[in-house]
Amino acid sequence: MSGVTDLAALIETMEPVLVEGRFVYACVPAGELADHLMRAPLGMFREAEGVTLILPAEAAGDLAASPPMRMITLTVHSSLEAVGLTAAFATALTAEGISANVVAGFHHDHIFVPERQAEQALAALRALSRGAREKGEAG
């Protein structure tokens, strides 16, 4: 498994980036998935109730969808076996009253936050990283 597993190193170097665009979550019946692939989903997850699609907001069209969200990517190459990173950034966002929907990719973690709180979330994550670096330098 590749990627960083050390929690302190992950937090110190996570470098959150606010990705351009607005995204929504929508659900389609599994049997209709092929009909919706042309919407270019960013992510998919199969559940008993249907397939959740994460889509650019403008591609959702007539689908019932979540309110618009923004995506923050942590640019550190985190290992899928790393322990504690999700808890650390979720705690930081919780302290600011920001919901977080996390998708782990092979290389990076992606955090979907309410559009109206995107800049606040980015600031909270940068503060978490800065605090970890300062603590590491002092220690």
pLDDT value of residue 139: 63
Condensed to tens digits (0 to 9), the pLDDT of residues 76-113 reads 999 999 999 999 999 999 999 999 999 999 999 999 99
Q: Are 124 and 71 in contact (CB under 8 A)?
A: no
Condensed to tens digits (0 to 9), the pLDDT of residues 30-72 reads 988 888 888 889 999 999 999 999 999 999 999 999 999 999 9
Q: How far apart are CA 106 and CA 2, in angstroms?
A: 9
**What's the full length of the chain, in residues?**
139
pLDDT value of residue 34: 85
Query: For the whole model, what pTM was predicted?
Result: 0.93
Phi, psi (deg, nearest 5) at residue 25? -100, 135
